[in-house]
A and B are shown apart, each in its own frame.
Chain A
Amino acid sequence: MTRIFVPADSLALALGADDVARCLSEELTRRRVKATIVRTGSRGMAWLEPLVEIETPGGRVGYGPVKARDVPSLLDAGLLTGNGHALLLGPVNELPWMSRQTRLVFARCGEIDPLDLEEFRRLGGFLGFERARALGPAETIAQVTASGLRGRGGAGFPAGVKWKSAADTQASRKFVVCNADEGDSGTFADRMLMEGDPFLLIEGMAIAGFAIGASKAYVYSRSEYPRANRIFAQALELARRAGVLGERAFAPGCGFDIELRVGAGAYVCGEETALLESLEGKRGMVRAKPPLPVHHGLFGKPTIINNVLTLASVPWILVNGSDAYAAMGHGRSRGAMPIQLSGMLKHTGLFEAPFGMTLSEIINDIGGGSRSGRPIKAVQCGGPLGAYFPPSLFDTIYDYEAFAARDGLIGHGGIVAFDDSADMGEQARFAMEFCAIESCGKCTPCRIGAVRGQEVIDKLRNGERTQENVALLEDLCQTMKLGSLCALGGFAPYPVLSALRHFPEDFRPRSPEKEQVP
């Protein structure tokens, strides 16, 4: 029977995908046409959502963006055979956005019913886990290390090194914790994966548990992702029923299970030690390190904490070999990164590609440049703690070290583009405001500094003692950088200082007559 694919990813739903699916189903019944509607995750082309696909002998053909009211005309035109219509896009895998990618983690996302375990297996699911079992824990970790895979949550720490430390620590219990607290504005890859291919994350976590000798794992997700949480919980249940999780997961008598926990709207709980506190049922206060979580983590036991994308990268590495992964990328940034584009770009969404493109290629070629017609003024990379880059820095190569050399951040892979209607003084103020709202309160430079930072920026924008207040703001940022325990207080200065350096005019009064004599 013909299959029609309609996404049920949060973003597609927010743009009316359920209405499209309902309308399709009603029209098919009315026309007495037999076809199956399969609900999938998203391919990551947000500007085409809801993207409806149809299976044809020549591959899957797409139409989008589809509104419910388009459904009758689509069927009239011959949707079921992939015929012409104003919304016809052609073969989905041949769209430039798709064909230019290297989809490792997102290979199945948007293509399959996320809760169809058989389909997951048919398309290579669990092969990585089987390979890990054949290799044994030590060789599995050696493969992850040799691949060069670095943490995709923000800090870019080598995953294999972390795993080895935990594996080498003797303890009665060990834990795997998946950080799915994806709080960075402009990032949504974790959400898309949990909604579009949840078994891949389960597989990655099982490999991690097997490698370090853990029998229990947690996923710490966020309350802002109700749909991702619902789908992931269902996937866990299906995996348990299939015996992938549970008492015999690794071998008879050698079990492994995953529990989903949900945060409560605190950005700082994405920081790994605050996350552990939260999992233990406490306030999300950052812990001083050492001890490192690999030695003394959840409930005092050795724990590895990895981002969703880090864990979900591992199955591919094991199936295809660490060399194949390490062969991709640039400098010390190996493999591919699911880049997430948002803001004032023509093409926004998820684009997975090896490290090494320039920012300009990403913004202008992939993102299609400005959507509003007004020039792009700046992009913020790496979430709310990442610097603002003006177009003069768009030659920067997408690579951890190249970004760091320019005070920038790859972070979790988000890139937010602002056109020239943006007020960078206001953005800088927001960086301080966000830090103040989300500070865990443990260190003074972060807790108090972020409040003072807002006041100083307000004064500057009121035209009060410009030189003095610029110096004060720079000094305050320096204190926050040096005196903060974690990257919330330690990195909030980067968006502020970059905005100040590249757009000083936005820190002056908007109307000149308000300027006071220094």
Chain B
Amino acid sequence: MTRTWNPELASREIEALTHLEGALLPVLHRLQEVFGYIPAEAVTLAASALNLSRAEVHGVVSFYHDFRTEAPARLVVRLCQAEACQAAGARAAAAALMGRLKTEFMKVAPDGSVVVEPVYCLGLCAAAPAALIGDRLLAALDGASLCEAVEAAL
């Protein structure tokens, strides 16, 4: 479970990593792990702890697809949309899920319950299509089994 934003905790987490060379990515990962996202205030804290400008830290946060600047949906479904999964029916599986949830990629459900994000390869290509539902890996999916797994996790 992620924690609600807490600047003291954030500072402690950052402090524990400042000894690393080039510490910014580990710091951002840690903040997102603890709080679920990287709020603007965290950018300020990380910048001052690492002797960087806020613009530099913001630039890094925005460059990488993983980092979020807003609290995520309660359930994040990462659906592989890369070639090996495409070859095995990932597009149809995605369409089935979108139809069921009445949503589209990257659009958080109005009640904040779920968001479906594309991911480009989970390394499960040999049993495609693959998905990461919360922290559970699933492979050899089709539309029906994907919808079922997502609904069970909701």
Which residues of A approach B to under 8 Å, CB–CB? 10-11, 13-15, 44, 46-47, 49, 182-188, 191, 223-228, 259, 261-267, 278-284, 299, 340-344, 348-350, 380, 384, 414, 416-419, 422, 427, 430, 434, 438
Which residues of B approach A to under 8 Å, CB–CB? 20-26, 28-29, 50, 56, 59-60, 63-67, 82-88, 119-128, 130, 132, 135, 137-140
**Is B127 within 8 A of A186, CB to CB?**
no
Q: Write 9 A-B pairs (CB below 8 A) sorted by A numbering.
A: A186-B83, A186-B84, A263-B64, A280-B22, A342-B87, A342-B125, A343-B84, A343-B88, A384-B82
**Is A342 within 8 A of B128, CB to CB?**
yes
Q: Which residues of B contact A13 (CB under 8 A)?
A: 137
Q: Which residue of B lies closest to A46 (CB)?
A: B126
Q: Which residues of B contact A263 (CB under 8 A)?
A: 25, 64
- Given A14-B139, A281-B22, verify A348-B127 contact (CB < 8 Å): yes
**Is A185 within 8 A of B65, CB to CB?**
no
**Is A343 within 8 A of B60, CB to CB?**
no
Chain A nearest CB: distance from B65 CB in Å? 4
**Is B22 within 8 A of A183, CB to CB?**
no
Q: Which residues of B contact A340 (CB under 8 A)?
A: 125-126
Question: Which of A188, A264, A282, A349 has a CB less than 8 Å from the CB of B123?
Answer: A188
Give complex CA distance A351, B34 in Å.
39
**Is A349 within 8 A of B126, CB to CB?**
yes
Q: Which residue of B lies closest to A417 (CB)?
A: B87
Question: Which of A186, A226, A279, A419 has a CB less than 8 Å from the CB of B135?
Answer: A226
Give complex CA distance A514, B57 in Å.
49
Give complex CA distance A187, B123 in Å.
6
**Is A279 within 8 A of B84, CB to CB?**
no
Residue among B119, B126, B138 with the most chain A CB within 10 A? B126
Give complex CA distance A15, B126 in Å.
11
**Is A46 within 8 A of B120, CB to CB?**
no
Q: Which residue of B lies closest to A15 (CB)?
A: B139
Give complex CA distance A283, B130 in Å.
28
**Is A14 within 8 A of B85, CB to CB?**
no
**Is B63 within 8 A of A266, CB to CB?**
yes
Chain B nearest CB: distance from A117 CB in Å? 25
Q: Which residue of A lies closest to B132 (CB)?
A: A224
Question: Which of A225, A279, A430 has a CB less than 8 Å from the CB of B86?
Answer: A430
